[in-house]
Amino acid sequence: MPDTLNLESDEFMTLLTDALRAGPASPEWRQAVKALRDTNQSMDEYTLLYTAREHLESGKDYRSVRAGPGFTRKVMAGVDDQSSGGTGVPTAGLIALLAAGAILVVVVIVGVMLLKGGGTSNPQQQAITELNATLFGNKVLTAAFNPPILPPEGWMTFGGLPLTVKVNELRSAAKAPTTNGSVATTSSMGGGYRAGGIVSTASLAAEQPIEIDVALRTAKLVEDGILQIFVSDEPIDEAHTSGSHALVWQLKGTEGRVFLADATAAPVAQRVPNWQKEYPIKLLLNRDAAVVQAGGKQLYAGGHKLSSDRPRYVGVRFLARPGERGDAVGVTSVTILKP
């Protein structure tokens, strides 16, 4: 008799185990015995096995037990209780149904939210993705301050706040004058500020994607004075130095923040460190969206709220109230690029 079974391939062992399950006098039993005889295998090997199975058959009543009246009464009373008290739906089924319902509700809500949000955010998201993927390799205009000629070619100065060029940097005067010069007040800044800066003389079409790279050098930053890098969809001149409709990156004290063209502030601000030899600001724009990075980190990505058809002007503006120091930060270069 084999010790190991290969039931996958051995037909006789399948026959044998069928016979052992079915028992003596069953067709499987007779078939197994016949197979043994046909193959001339020794019956002796299997005699004990068959005998054990026959003994089990004889002892089939072993531990045979049945329900007494008390047992049946209890079961049927339980069945009565269940059928009168329940709805027929098992508790587990009910819980599963409720859970499925809850999941369905959540899926529907999420779906609706996605559909609602999709109408406005998708084109903007697409515009941001496009901006980030665009390679801006062609210079449109640059402003370097070496040699110290003001204004650089392609730029014009504006405003009554005096500007200076020192060590290849454009700065506002160390102290804003208390008299003369045109008074520049901005709607967002409140009154009392004087403005001065440079702005591109030529406008850029709203359809034109652009990159504006500005390099700053910071000293010990103080609360006095403000620096703005802006893209305005209104011309900047002596009469309109504030540019009330512009996308702006602004530095006040040590806080850098983005303001959109509708004067709303972007939710995230950034701390600008003191004593930076070169602190980069980058603005990427196309018709609808902008990405603003400061110090290599993204500060804002989204709609800029500029007009989608009016031409745009790029500039740098210093603001200071009379008597304030405005020279803690200097601009070393401004570059406008297009793809």
- Residues near other proteins (CB under 8 A) are 1, 5, 7-8, 13-14, 16-18, 20-21, 23, 48-49, 51-53, 55-72, 74-76, 78-80, 82-83, 86, 88-90, 92-93
The distance of closest approach from Cβ of residue 103 to other proteins in the complex, given in angstroms and rounded to an integer, is: 20
Token pair belonging to 260: 């959109």
Largest CA distance in the chain: 127
Q: How far is the CB of 30 from other proteins (least distance, A)?
A: 16
Contact call for residues 257 and 266 (beta carbons, < 8 A): yes
Long-range contact list for 123-130, CB < 8 A, 24+ apart?
123/288, 124/288, 124/289, 124/302, 124/303, 127/286, 127/287, 127/288, 127/289, 128/289, 128/291, 128/301, 128/302, 130/209, 130/286
Cβ proximity to other proteins: between 75 and 112 the closer is 75
Burial zone of 269 (CB within 10 Å; 0-12 exposed, 13-18 middle, 19+ buried)? middle
Using the structure block, give the residue that is written with the tokens 């640059």.
142
CA–CA separation, 203 and 122 (whole Å): 29
* Minimum separation from the CB atom of position 33 to other proteins (A): 16
C-alpha 194 chain-centroid distance: 40
Q: Three-state DSSP class for 161? A: coil
Nearer to other proteins, 82 or 187 (CB): 82
Q: Closest CB to other proteins among 22 and 189?
A: 22
The first and second tokens of residue 175, run together, are: 């102290």
Tell the smallest beta-carbon distance from residue 59 to other proteins (Å).
Answer: 5
Of residues 71 and 275, the one with the C-beta less far from other proteins:
71
Q: C-beta of 270: minimal distance to other proteins in Å?
A: 57
State in angstroms the smallest separation of the CB of 52 from other proteins: 4
- Least distance from other proteins to the Cβ atom of residue 90, Å: 5
Cβ distance to other proteins smaller for residue 83 or 146: 83
CA 215 to CA 256: how far, in whole Å? 14
Kindly tell me which of 92 and 135 has the beta carbon lying closer to other proteins. Answer: 92
Which one, 17 or 168, has the nearer CB to other proteins? 17
In this structure, are strands 155-159 and 194-200 parallel, antiparallel, or unpaired? antiparallel
